[in-house]
Structures are given as structure tokens and as C-alpha cells.
Structure 1
């Protein structure tokens, strides 16, 4: 097998465009992999779509048709078969080689292979790939389906009719930048005798053995070829299976005694084995090969009925795992820009925030292999949605066949990855059917249930029996039970944020919460880079354009009610809304984790952003950490101590997600804001076993405040601590914040020590205001009078810090809340 990657020499030209589109040159250089937007930006024909309101004026790009052209040389190599392999075409494409039609494609999420032996010639060749506008393609499908296409869709565009990344058409956190182009590599593969087709590796544990069982499809160049052999090497073992001439399916298996086991991080290591599969001819010559890094582990989903309802617990290597995670969206609207380094950085940010799971959400893509490779290495489990989100989907042709082919390919491609632990049928579509008024519009027309309840479970069971499948998020396990029930399955909590304050989180004890979130703007540096407004304000055009949620800014203010006064300027708006986001999500996570094992997972909406935007993300579109990231790091710590109401009492809940028992002293104290100790309770030793919670009662004399506006509780359990305030910030009589600052140069930045002269709540250092590349190691720190905390800051010098105006850099909740009393 020889491969020639066609990655240089491409050009891009426009075929058709709306009348409002600007003039363009006849052609411009094109990058492959890439897309139209990136090529136009590289040619300086459009400005950055993420800047200001540029997105609006560039709508014509997604409504135009485009041509990619490549002239390339071929040396006339002698091979029995020559194929053109296209790993990703976005989306409706027509391919010609030397004037002959190779075929047409209609799915961004599939790969395509064309036999080009009869079209390819020695010397100069020309390959043309024409892309139809996604809108035009959607309209064609709509006409073909007739009334079957007139079904509910929560967002504009035809994303429920065509197989393209849904959020390309805009979401409540994403812009409308409808892409087209060759977004994955194009390769010429020349081969003789036989080649490896699809390979389905079942990599799992059975007792003390690691099992690598590979279902292999073999494609033969002609019917007269001699027999071949498959050779599997893994873990120092080698297994060979003979394949008779013309045989198209083979099974090869290798078992390893007592293998090193792959674990989610924090529970063990992530050892990976080199798996090497070779296809050899009868003479022993290598015909084709396939290599992956794999990990041995088992996974199942426990849905056992119990006295509450039914469990929803992922069990890895026979150990129930509390999933501490976040939802993952495409990290850029322009997918080819997401490099391995960017994936590695983002997944490291998730792991560093103590997450052990990312949910790949159904309105994006099946991620690139790089994403899962990095998750394997980091020990971050992956929940993988099939690509359906917030819409009904027709089950008629041509959609049904495309979806089945797409699912089969996606399952097969992603099977090698140890981090992938569950397949999920859709995002919010079953919920929408029951609770969003869809039934009134649908009548008796199909809407997608056939995919989630029939097709997908059958295909997963057939292709990948090593992993569990669940029909939807949220879903209760039965179409007879409300899909968002607390007692069963997985739940989304969206009345919090949309309608009510985050105190409402305590009304719910879900079995698994796979979506819940709270908005805030991105960091100051990211906002500054995304707009050229001299005097930004929450409702100024560019800031408002980077807020895609309906009524989003109003909800930001609504969510402050009772906690903080409405901010009177842009800097305070930025800080207090970010602080409130962090508070809200910590409030929800701490509550749900305190109810383990009833609740066994919290997957926050969302980890990342695809552009600079006010959203639910912890990491903004430039990769900078919002205060929420630091809150997640605290609330997802393997050892969590949290104070929670339990009926008419207060309790400290110790949550142990570590692999060893936790046996340390416990102290809870009541102070006033001057630092005066009012009451104290000490227990010489508390035992919290591994993967368990321990409820520690707080005596009444501590749990009852003398003056709720000026007092708080502080509990310590080993290195973990928890704080409890008896009132919301608006009612608390915080002292004016007073503190000393000292900075010291370090090898990679500075160490900033803050010493509190008064009580300080939620100390934050926004060092991106001094340098956009600066980053601090911690935020949201409470300090009692006389206490100090040293913050490590990278990417900044002592001189730059000392010369800066620190009034907007160092912020506390005291500063915002005190205005309520003036």
C-alpha cells in the first residue's frame, strides 16, 4: 500500500453566489485540509468573522457554491488498484477527475473512497471538487421529502435535514458561519492483491485477561489473488490467521494474561498498548497495515431498579464511577484550525480542573482521532453523542440511509479508544418531543424515535458490544416515563438559568445530570480582541452581538437578584456576572455530589467555546480560563468538603472520590467578619471510605448565627475546607476590603502574595488585563483577617504587575456587595 497525500497546490474559486456577494478574484490559493472561510481570510478577501459584527456581512459565503481544483502529477505506478480516499468533505460535493465524474457525497461526517484506476493517467491530472451551498442542498432535500420535512427544528437552517455539523447554522452560543470545503485529508492509495477495509477492535477485559478481538474486512484487487495472512501483535504476543483467497471477513483474537489496566485518571494509570495488525501476502510481503494505541478496561452502565427509581451509574473495571465532567462542543467553528496541541491543551485544562469525563455533544462532530487519543492518554472518559440535537429528524430516504452509514462508520472508527465509555442517541430530542409542543405539530409523522430506540441500539449492539448505549440525554429509560425525571436516567436542568435562581438546584436530586449551566462573558482580554469598540458596554453592538442566547443579558442580571446589585459599569458587569456563574455552578455541583450514590454524575454545560462569546463555558473562545474554571477545580476535587442543609439542620458532607480511605481531623468554626471566633467544634478523626460520602452533623450552637449578616462557618477536613454564609451577599455586612500585596519575580512569571487586613471573599486576580497571555493558578479564594495566599502568575513580569492599575485586576465579592449598603 502506497499513499500520496494531496495537500498542496489547491485553488479555490466561486461558482455561484447571492446577488449581494462581493466580487472575488477568479481563484485564490486553498489549504487542504481547510475550508472556504479560512482560504478567504488567508487571501485577505474577508476580515475575521469573529471580530465585531463581521459574521452578519459574511452570510453570503455559506449561501455560495465553491470549487476546489488541484493539478497534480502521477508517475504511473504499477498497481492493481488505485483509490482516492476523501476523509472529510463538507458537505454536498461532486468530484471529477480529468473530466470524469467520480461521485457525489452528502455527508460531512463520513469518509468516501473512489476507484480512480480508469481515470488517473501518467503525468498531469486535474481533480475538481465542487461544493453546493448547504442551504441549497437542504432545500433540495426538503423538496424531495415533502411534508416529511415540515417538522420542528429549534434553530434556523436545514441541519435536521442534512448531515452537517448542526451548530454551523448558529446556536445560543455560536455564530452562523456555514462552512464548505475539504476539511480532512485527501489521499491517493495504490495497492495490489488485497487491502484492509474496516477494522472493528473489541478491546476489553474478561476476568484477568485482556482481550483484543478484531473483526476485519478485507478487500481484494482481483478474484485470482493468492491467500493472505493477518498478523496481530500486542503486548509481546503475536497471533496469525490465514485468510483464504476471496474471503472478505476474518476474526483475529489475542489474549493477554493480567494486563496493565486503563483507568479514568485519579483511579489508576492509563497504560496503552501498541496494537499492530498486518496483512501479508502468500509470499510474506506486507500488503497493508493498521496501528493503534489501545487500553484494556471494561465498562457497563448500571440501571438497576432501586427504592428511588433506577440507577444511572457508569461502572469501569467493576468500580462505580462518579462522572465529574463537562460538555464538549467543537473548539472552533473552523475545524481544521484545531490542532493536536490545541486538543492537548484543552483536555489538560479539563483534567487539571479535576474532570474525568467530557461529553461530545450531538450538535457538533464525531471528533477527530486526535481528540480521543489525547483523552486516552489523559484518562478523561468520553460520553459520545450521535449527531442529533434539539430537533426532529425525518426517518425517510435519503436521510435514513445516510444516518445508518454514518453511524456504522463512526462506531467502527472510534472503537479503539479506551476513553470512550458510552454511546448516546441524541441531545434533547426525546425531551423536545414530550415537553416542547412538538407532538402538536408532528401529528403521526416520524420524528427520529426510530433512530434512537431501534436503529442505533441495534447497530451499536452489532458493531460495538463492549460499550453501553443510551437513547438520549435527557432520557428516563422508558417512553412511558417523563424524560427529565429525577428518579431515572440522565437529566438536564435548564429552568435554573432560564427561569429561576440557582438556589433551585437543591430542589433536584437527579440520578445523573448530563447538562446544567450558567452564563458569563469571556475574559477581558478575549473581549478586547474580538471587538474594536472604544467604550464597550453590556448592550453595545459588538458586545451584544457576542451574546447569542435569547434574552441572555437580561438573564445575567436576573440571576443576580438577591445576591448582588446590578452593576453600574462595564468592569463591574464583567466581574460580577463571571463571579455569579462560578457561584451558581459550584452551588449545583456541591449539592449533587453531596447526594452520592443517588446521583452519580454531573456534566456541566460547557467546557469550551468555539469563538469569543458570552456563554456557559469555563474556558473562553481564546482558551482563557474564566472564574468558573477555578470553581470547577475546587468543586470537582477528589476530596470535597461541602456544607449543605439537611432538612432543618446543617451538615458537613465529606465526598471521597479518591482510591484510598480519607481519615483526618474535622473542625468547624463560626466567626464574625472581624475574625473573632464565636464557636468551635472539633472531631479528632472522621473516616470517609473511598468512593463514599460521610455526613458530619454540625452542632446547633455552630449552625445558628447570632447575627446572620456578619457571621460565617468555616469547616476543615484535612486539606479540604468549606464555607457557609447565613445570608446572600446583598444582606451580608462585608467589611471594606483591605489587604497588602507583595510580588516576587519567579522563573516563569511572578508570585503575588495577598495578606488580608479585613475579611476577603472570592479574591480574584484578572491578570489578563495586564497581559493577554498571563494566567493565574487560582481564584475565588476566601481569606480571614491576617491570612495570606500566594498566587502563581505565568506570563508576566514583576515590573509590569507593579506598574499596573490593580483596581480592575484584584477583585473581591466585598467590593460589589458593599454598594448594596450605600
Structure 2
């Protein structure tokens, strides 16, 4: 029987490391939760996500905390009673009725402590003392020797979510608390301690090896039963036996496929040991990694992985509900993405996360939680890392969506290329984890999935880690120092990280920053920009692409537009190189708080213009203009080519038309060719001389194939002879908002409507639409918005706008 222990908790500050702090004693606490959310609910602190409140709260991470509750216990006839802590953050001493029952030092593990000998009938007390995270990490650093990292925080010296200590997109809010459920579990005879199903498919026959570890209260024979897809098998465990394997053979199961490649049938697997029952859904599929090409193959089919990096969706993970995760998954899938990479500076995510991925066919690349630092392998860390890896690999083995285990984020690159070796002076840095311990655990516990030592990584410790020609690569030359057109200099095998910043939506920024006036450099806006020289890079990134902003409204629109263009440029470039390149994983899908960042969905869950741009770039059938290097990669000559990308299971055939026309809409030249692009294929079509611009500033190319279209301007917007935009607007009520139709009388460049400026809850179904003369676009806006304000500056924007 499970008895939750989530009621009646209080929290008290019990120690600190010299920082002044308020008196906190016996405040009501929410479990699961954390100290920040408890202090916020009690009114002790201001919201750390607003203005610069974050900087006033550093004392919290330098303070020890006591969580206490009392509960009634009526006794039990069961032989065992365990205290189960599914997640403690992080270094904790657990006392039941004043007696220490256990200690923890790892946010990434769950713990089970025998408790029956300490429980009494009637009132019992439970206290969990959390050591200040900074004190523990700094103590380990002093004992083991400092190690370099991307930030000055000691996150590599504690097994805790690294980005809790701040990142270039996140605040420093170092938490403590009971962050996942806690309960008493009473049981007799035996229980299922571990269930680890390994699913394989060979020649149409599915096999599930169910590896079970039992905890015993008595040494009697046990019956273990497993059932899936109408198949049931049993094995007997003799007295004293704790482990067993039940093998289930399923003839011709329906295969689980990635999103866009097929359906996602899931089969309930039920495992029972006497009265203890475990049930999860599994999927039948195979997965391989072809290391030389860095290509994921599912059910024998190479998959082009297009998607996003995933960071924790909140600095306080207990606030991330299944409903919130479902919204993020819908937002990811809504772009056409089929992959999320769970980044190594965060967490092993919740069961809800992986279950949603299973149901939607979203492939999961799972980093082990090591990021951007040299990690010690001595002291308590080797034990903790192996314990967490064994627990998490076992926990996640049932999920068909999980297709890759990865040892770390950027640590191999850091050791090779960031000057760490001199600073380490021979001290350990994590290589033993990435090359030995973690692959050994995965081979032992989950041989059905591939393991890769890190990202970026080129396949061998002897190779330069971030070589685009091998393995996975991260591209940060763009954003840090190069124009986004620099993406065109790369021919990578697989891009696991690349990104370009843009501010959050107006409603999100306005909610989180109280600046008056609101400017790109006002205090709150700058505090919600964590990247080094972030705003400088935003402005420099506009380069020749867009006009210089005249004020906040221009800055907001242009930098969001530039973010969308930059990432669309990179994504379409890498997709055009398929099948040589087989992955484009954008940094990043989501934010953990309101911030200017690389995310497509901001910290309040609103879609930025980048989201709409990526929806076009990720579309299954894509036309994209590319330079001669892409043509050469496909064996085609020509200064420019049009690449037809077909990421569907059917041939894409028809008449491809490319028209050179004037900005005013006059046809100047036209070429037509019949094309047939095989399923999951690409075709590069050379552009003939008649399509070369006679007057680049006054012309563009328009390519069409079926419903797909691509535009190519010969010059950047400020150098293009764009006319003042003229268009007709009509609005009518529709489905909880308005239907807005805009008909262009001239070319209208990058039309966008921002209804959240009028109603924070308002949404729109499309953004950044370029209309040729005579074309009409229709938008659906939900929310309480005024139609006149909706179609006026600064809510309606385009690059060639006129302002009254």
C-alpha cells in the first residue's frame, strides 16, 4: 500500500554562510516543491522571474533548510514499510522520529529507506535537513581541486541540475526541497524492485526480455508473470533468488515509428510478482546508430532528425505539469519536428515527458546530465554517477521514443579546445565517465539502444571533437562572431546545436519587466539578457539584412524576424545536404523563465516568430534556394541550385516552375522542368542563365512545385527596391476572435501581426508572410482584440511598411 506524505509540511531556515537573510521559521511548505516556491507563496520573497529580483535571492542557495511534517500511522500487518523519496534536492539527511534513516547527495536519484522499525502507532515526525548547495559544492571543490567550466559557479561539484546555478539563458536560483513525491510503501512477501524490458524485433518477430529484480521480505518461492499483446509467460523464483528474465515472443507486432514515418502503436506490458503489479506501454521498434555518418536508423529506415534541444521548462521543475509538457510537445510537433534532445545541463525528465514522446512519435536524444565543465571522478562522484545511471537507464528502458544515450554536452570539446588541460594539471575531468562507466552501464542494462560519448564528438578521442565532417557538431561561430550566412560554409554530418537569439514576445517581456520606458537597454530588459554581449550581438546580427531599428518597437520586430531568418537559413541549408547531413537540432525549443534567448517558445509559453519560421523550414516537402557548394554535394554544377527536399514516404513528382519576376510582379523569365523526387530523397536542380538577375535590387525568384513555394531575393531588404507596402484589410468575427484577410496591392515583405500587444492571451496562427502583388493571406486571431488596433502599427508590421 502507498501512503503519500505530502501534507502538513513546514520549512525553516537553519543555517547560512554569512549572507544576511530574513528569519524563516515554520512556514507552510508544498510537497512536491522547493524552497523558492514556498517562500514565494508565503510572501517572503518577490517573484525571481520579475525585474532583477533574482539578484536579491542568492542567500537561498547558501542557506540550509529543514522540512518537517507529522503524520499519523495506524500500523500495518505487512512485513515491510519503506520510506520512498522519489526526488530530494539535493544533499539531505532524513530523520524519522528523530532518528537518521538515510542520507542523499543526488537530485537525479530516488531513494528507498527501510522504516518499519522506526514507525510508531499514532503520531510520527519526519524531518529532512538540506545542506546549503553552495556549501556542499564548495567543500567538494576544496577537497578535490578546482576544475574549469563555462561559468564561475561550482555546479560540477554536486549532482544537481547544473542550470540551477545560472546559464546564458537562465537565472541563478539554487534550490533545495522535496521536488518529487514522497510516500510510505508497505508490502509483504516480495516486491518488484526493478523492471527492465528490452524490446527487439527480428524478421517481423517481436521479443520482450523482461529483466526483473525482486526485493524479498520472506524466502519463499515466487511466481513472476509478464503479459503483452495477448502473450503471457511465467517463471518461478526459488527461495533466495532475486533476479529473473521473462521472455515474451510476439508474432508480427505493429511497429512503432518516428513522427512522420508511420504510426505509434503502443502495447501495455504488465508484470506481476505475487501481489505487486507494474504496467507500462512499450513499442516494438529497432534503432541503430551508423557512427561514421552519424545517422539514426529506425526499423531499418534512416531518419532525418529535425527538432529542438530541450532545457528544463521551469527553474522549479515541480511546477511542470503533464498539461504543460503536452503543450510544449504540441508546439514542437506543430513545427514538424520529430526530435527533442534532452540537454545535459538539466534533468532526466519525468515519466510524463517520455510517455508523451512515445505517444507522439517524438524521438528523444537523452544526454546524461553533464554539461560545459570538467567533472571530478573521485570522492563521492563515481559512486553517485554509476548509481544514477543504473537507475535512470532502467527507468527509461521501456520507452520506444528514446533512441540515443549521450555521455555529456560539450565537455569533450571543452577539454580539447577550451584551454582546460593546463588548468586541470592532470586532475580528472570526466573522461572515465564518458568513455568507460556510462557506456558500460548502457551495454549492460540497455543494449537495444546506441550510446555516444558526447556532443559534439567526432567518433574517436583522437579526432577534433567538433569536426563537422564526423559525428555530431555544434555551430556557435554564428551568433558569437559571424553573420548567419556563415552557415553556408558548413557541410556537417549532423548538427546537434546551433542557434540565434531573439527577444520574447511583447506580452511576456511586458509582464516580466516593469521598466518605464521599455527600451532595448533598460535595466529590466538587460537583466533578462544573460548572454555575454547578447544585445550587442542582436544588433550586429541585423547586419545588412534589415534596417537599423529606430526605437524599441523596431528593435523588437527586427530582432525577432532576424532570429527566424537566421535559423531558417541554417535549417534549410542542412536539410538540403541530406542524405550526407541527417540531423538539424535547433537550440532551443523552450525557456525556463522570461528571457531574451535562442528559444522558439518563450518563458510564458508563447510562440515567437521563430516558431513560425521553423514550421516552414521543417515542412516535410521543402523548396530551398542554395549555393553552388550544395549543388556540388549533389553532383550538380551551377552558381545556384534549387533543392527539392522530400521528407515523406511517397515520391514527390510534378512540374517545378521557377520564375524571375520584378518586385512589381511582372514575369521576366520562367523555367519549367518535370521532377520526381523519391521518398526521403533530395534533388538539386541547377538554375539556368535566364534566371540570373538583370537588376538585382528590383527582382526576385519564385519557385513552385504543387503547394510548395520558395522565394529568393537577390539583395538584402535595405538594398532592395521595396515599394511602400499597400494592402487591403478585412476583419470578421470567427472562432473566439477574428479572421483577418490581407490582400496585397504591392509586394508586402514579412507581414506579422502581434495580437499579444493588445491581449496577453491572444494568439495568431501564422507570422512572417511575404505576399506578392495580388495575393491574399488570411490569419485567425483568438482573444479579445480591437480590429482597428489589430491592423495598425505597431501591432501589424512588415519590413516595407508605411506609418501614418
The TM tier, using the shorter chain, reads: over 0.9
Decide which of 316, 332, 338 is 2:298's aligned counterpart. Answer: 316
CA positional deviation for 1:18: 4.9
CA positional deviation for 1:479: 1.3
Residues 1:165 and 2:161 are matched in the alignment: yes
Alignment-derived partner of residue 639 in structure 1: 621
Residues 1:572 and 2:554 are matched in the alignment: yes
CA positional deviation for 1:806: 2.0
SS at match of 2:46: coil
SS at match of 1:654: strand
Residues 1:623 and 2:605 are matched in the alignment: yes
SS at match of 2:201: strand
Per-residue CA shift, 1:371-403, capped at 9, x if unaligned? 000111111000000011000011112111111
Alignment-derived partner of residue 694 in structure 1: 683
SS at match of 2:155: coil
Alignment-derived partner of residue 673 in structure 1: 663
Alignment-derived partner of residue 632 in structure 2: none
Alignment-derived partner of residue 293 in structure 1: 281
Residues 1:602 and 2:584 are matched in the alignment: yes
Residues 1:650 and 2:640 are matched in the alignment: yes
Alignment-derived partner of residue 240 in structure 1: 234
When normalised by structure 1's length, the TM-score is: 0.95
Residues 1:178 and 2:174 are matched in the alignment: yes
Alignment-derived partner of residue 188 in structure 2: 192
SS at match of 1:737: coil
Contact 1:4/1:189 (CA < 8 Å) preserved in 2? yes
Distance 2:24 2:614 in 1: 49
Decide which of 376, 380, 388 is 1:394's aligned counterpart. Answer: 376
Distance 2:505 2:755 in 1: 10
CA positional deviation for 1:796: 3.6
Distance 2:792 2:241 in 1: 73
Distance 1:216 1:804 in 2: 60
Contact 1:35/1:180 (CA < 8 Å) preserved in 2? yes
Contact 1:156/1:169 (CA < 8 Å) preserved in 2? no
In the TM superposition, 1:177-326 aligns within 5 A as 177-222=173-218, 225-280=219-274, 286=275, 288-303=276-291, 310-326=292-308
Distance 1:566 1:803 in 2: 25
Distance 1:268 1:301 in 2: 20
Alignment-derived partner of residue 439 in structure 1: 421
Per-residue CA shift, 1:511-562, capped at 9, x if unaligned? 0000000001000000011011121111111000000001000000111111
Q: Which runs of 4+ in 1 moved over 4 A?
A: none
Per-residue CA shift, 1:761-789, capped at 9, x if unaligned? 11111111111111111112110111101
Alignment-derived partner of residue 558 in structure 1: 540
Distance 1:159 1:566 in 2: 40
Per-residue CA shift, 1:483-530, capped at 9, x if unaligned? 111211000000111011011101001000000000010000000110
Alignment-derived partner of residue 757 in structure 1: 745
CA positional deviation for 1:28: 1.1
Per-residue CA shift, 1:462-487, capped at 9, x if unaligned? 11000000001000001111111121
Residues 1:359 and 2:359 are matched in the alignment: no
Alignment-derived partner of residue 122 in structure 1: 121
Distance 1:390 1:300 in 2: 27
Distance 2:750 2:283 in 1: 41
Alignment-derived partner of residue 456 in structure 2: 474
Per-residue CA shift, 1:249-277, capped at 9, x if unaligned? 10011111111111111111111111111
Alignment-derived partner of residue 283 in structure 1: none
Distance 1:134 1:701 in 2: 67
Contact 1:85/1:113 (CA < 8 Å) preserved in 2? yes
In the TM superposition, 1:674-753 aligns within 5 A as 674-683=664-673, 685-702=674-691, 704-753=692-741
Distance 1:484 1:670 in 2: 40
Per-residue CA shift, 1:609-652, capped at 9, x if unaligned? 00000000000000000010001100000101101112552211
Residues 1:810 and 2:796 are matched in the alignment: yes
Distance 1:21 1:93 in 2: 23
CA positional deviation for 1:92: 0.5
Distance 2:416 2:142 in 1: 27
Q: How many residues in Structure 1 have an aligned counterpart in Structure 2?
A: 795
Alignment-derived partner of residue 323 in structure 2: 341
Distance 1:548 1:803 in 2: 33
Distance 2:775 2:426 in 1: 66
Per-residue CA shift, 1:12-67, capped at 9, x if unaligned? 11111355434335211111100001111111111110000000011111111111
Contact 2:735/2:782 (CA < 8 Å) preserved in 1? no
* CA RMSD across the alignment: 1.3
In the TM superposition, 1:446-465 aligns within 5 A as 446-465=428-447
Distance 1:756 1:689 in 2: 36
Distance 1:397 1:190 in 2: 34
Contact 1:389/1:429 (CA < 8 Å) preserved in 2? yes
Alignment-derived partner of residue 30 in structure 2: 31
Per-residue CA shift, 1:211-233, capped at 9, x if unaligned? 211110011113xx321111111
SS at match of 1:416: coil
Residues 1:16 and 2:15 are matched in the alignment: yes
510-519 or 720-729: bigger deviation: 720-729
Contact 2:40/2:46 (CA < 8 Å) preserved in 1? yes
CA positional deviation for 1:564: 1.9
Contact 2:665/2:773 (CA < 8 Å) preserved in 1? yes
CA positional deviation for 1:682: 1.7
CA positional deviation for 1:795: 2.5
Q: What residue ranges of structure 1 are gaps of 5+ in the alignment?
A: 281-285, 304-309
Distance 2:433 2:731 in 1: 59
Alignment-derived partner of residue 801 in structure 1: 787
Q: What residue ranges of structure 2 are gaps of 5+ in the alignment?
A: 630-637
Contact 1:745/1:751 (CA < 8 Å) preserved in 2? yes
Alignment-derived partner of residue 150 in structure 1: 146
Distance 2:781 2:397 in 1: 40
SS at match of 2:728: strand
Per-residue CA shift, 1:414-433, capped at 9, x if unaligned? 11111100000110011111
312-321 or 209-218: bigger deviation: 209-218
Decide which of 778, 782, 785 is 2:773's aligned counterpart. Answer: 785
Contact 2:200/2:284 (CA < 8 Å) preserved in 1? yes
Contact 1:156/1:170 (CA < 8 Å) preserved in 2? no
Distance 2:421 2:777 in 1: 56
Contact 2:755/2:790 (CA < 8 Å) preserved in 1? no
Alignment-derived partner of residue 306 in structure 1: none
Distance 1:118 1:729 in 2: 75
Contact 2:58/2:173 (CA < 8 Å) preserved in 1? yes
SS at match of 1:247: coil
Distance 2:201 2:761 in 1: 44
Contact 2:756/2:762 (CA < 8 Å) preserved in 1? yes
SS at match of 2:438: helix
In the TM superposition, 1:481-520 aligns within 5 A as 481-520=463-502
Distance 1:815 1:89 in 2: 54
167-176 or 151-160: bigger deviation: 151-160
Contact 2:169/2:595 (CA < 8 Å) preserved in 1? yes
When normalised by structure 2's length, the TM-score is: 0.98
In the TM superposition, 1:376-391 aligns within 5 A as 376-391=358-373
Contact 1:770/1:801 (CA < 8 Å) preserved in 2? no
